Amino acid sequence: TAPINLTERLRQIVRWSGGSLEMFFSHISPLFAGRRLSLVQRLSYINFTIYPLTSLFILMYAFCPVMWLLPTEILVQRPYTRYIVYLIIVIVMIHVIGMFEIMWAGITWLDWWRNEQFFMIGSVTAYPTAVLHMVVNILTKKGIHFRVTTKQPVADTDDKYAEMYEVHWVPMMIPAVVVLFSNILAIGVAIGKSILYMGTWSAAQKRHGALGLLFNLWIMVLLYPFALAIIGRWAKRTGILFILLPIAFLSTSLMYIGVHTFLLHFFPSMLI
């Protein structure tokens, strides 16, 4: 009864999340409607209807590691220690809630982790699309087109996940592709900068660089299933990305070092 591939699954999520947003912006919005709702009930219903808007912040979150691509002369204010502590507390609370949900639902940690990964994929594909549809709906009064997703048993009995490798490209996947490849470039540039500047960086710069690189890798881990979908049936080969991604990182770092060396010899003013 589930959609047979990633594209159909994302279209289904667009319809669900778009319907939630339509409820929030309708005359029965939990923000204003229903006098009998308590404050906690109202907040709960708001959470169920407005969650696609969080994708806008998650997109910003996913693009943060791309700061590696900026010149070192561009300074970005680091967050205050108090904010870091607040962020850690929020993250711990979210995972504690997730732990109780796992115990209550009786699912495995692997299922929970896959859900985390797919939430990230949906947040950079389906949810922004639903938000865009909602903006169009408010301006033109045209809702999300209802399209029944394909649900049929797969023909390849040797691999029950065979259809998941068949990705039909749609515009909603563009942000996820941009995030994925931008982070690949950022990791490659980070490696190149480490090779070039490691001898001149202070201990604080090395620490901040290591934390930034860890952030890049975290985004890559969350988008790992989407990367498998991109390479199609090659994904059936176990660990194929553990070969392709290091090659991409190394190629990007070598390209960065080559360009930097060229500019240093022929156009040194551009690096000042």
Q: Could you report the per-residue pLDDT of 188-204, keeping only the tens digit for each?
A: 888 888 888 877 878 87
pLDDT score of 32 more than 90: no
pLDDT score of 75 more than 70: no
For tokens 């607040």, the residue is 86
**Tokens read off for 27:** 């005359």
Q: Which of 260, 266, 267 is nearest to 72 (CA)?
A: 260
- Residue 73 is predicted with a pLDDT of 46
Q: Which is it for the CA torsion 175, 176, 178, 182, positive or negative?
A: positive
More confident residue, 62 or 266: 62
Cβ–Cβ < 8 Å for 8, 150: yes
Task: Tell me the percentage of the chain whose pLDDT exceeds 90.
Answer: 8
Q: Mean pLDDT: which of 29-33, 126-130, 234-238 is highest?
A: 126-130
pLDDT score of 208 more than 80: no
Q: Give the length of the chain.
A: 272
Residues in CB range of 227: below 8 A, 6 or more apart: 180, 220, 241, 245
pLDDT score of 231 more than 70: yes
- Residue 259 is predicted with a pLDDT of 87
pLDDT digits 0-9 by tens, 118-149: 889 999 999 999 998 888 887 887 666 656 55
pLDDT score of 151 more than 60: no
pLDDT digits 0-9 by tens, 94-109: 888 888 888 888 888 8
CA distances (Å), 30 to each of 15, 45, 53, 105, 245, in order?
20, 6, 16, 27, 45
Phi-psi map region of 125: left, alpha, beta (phi>0 left; psi -120 to 50 alpha) = alpha
pLDDT score of 206 more than 90: no
* Whole-number Å distance between alpha carbons of 271 and 125: 37
More confident residue, 174 or 78: 174
For the chain, what is the mean pLDDT? 80
Reported as half-sphere exposure (CB side, CA atoms, 13 A), residue 243 has a value of: 7
pLDDT digits 0-9 by tens, 253-272: 999 889 888 887 777 766 65
- Rounded mean pLDDT of 35-49? 86
pLDDT score of 113 more than 50: yes
pLDDT score of 50 more than 70: yes
3-state per-residue secondary structure call for 71-131: CCCCCCCCCCHHHHHHHHHHHHHHHHHHHHHHHHHCCCHHHHHHHHHHHHHHHCCHHHHHH
